[in-house]
Structure 1
Amino acid sequence: MLKPATEALIHRFAAEHDDLQDVLEAVRTAADRLSDNPGPESLAAVREAHRLVTEQLLPHEYAEEHQLYPALAPTLGVPRPPPP
């Protein structure tokens, strides 16, 4: 059985996954533009994808690694890593 705080984290991160679909679409768009017609518009799409990855995706992944996974470890029977 999960603790309420852990369940709240699961719901939070699930909702964030829905929000991150825009980031994935931006990466796809940038890749498509680069393969179709490299140039200034492609560079702008790559810069936008980079911004979204840096500002949204990476902080989300960091939070999952440092908040969600440690909270799930006892339930999954995973030993906790030693503190840094």
Structure 2
Amino acid sequence: MMPGSMDPLTRIEAATLDDLPALAELLMELFAQEPDFRPDYNTQVRGLRLILEQPNRGRIFVLRGAHQIIGMINLLFTISTA
């Protein structure tokens, strides 16, 4: 595979509720690296579930490899009065 190219089995798609455990684990890894955050698996699952169940709050996309989720993008929608 050439540098910068993706494996043909790797794809970006919308996350589903079935992806919650893997998404929460990714956030646990991220928050463990940040001194300002305390990783809390159940809190992460609740927050992710809110986004997935209420698409007006945002969207979550996953980078899905052949056998597992290898990344995620979380888009949160806010209202700006600026």
**How does the TM-score come out when normalised to structure 2?**
0.26
Task: Give the greater-gyration-radius structure (CA).
Answer: 1
Higher-RCO chain (CA-CA 8 Å, sequence separation at least 6): 1
Query: 1 or 2, which has the higher strand percentage?
Result: 2
TM-score (norm 1): 0.26
Q: Which has the higher helix share?
A: 1
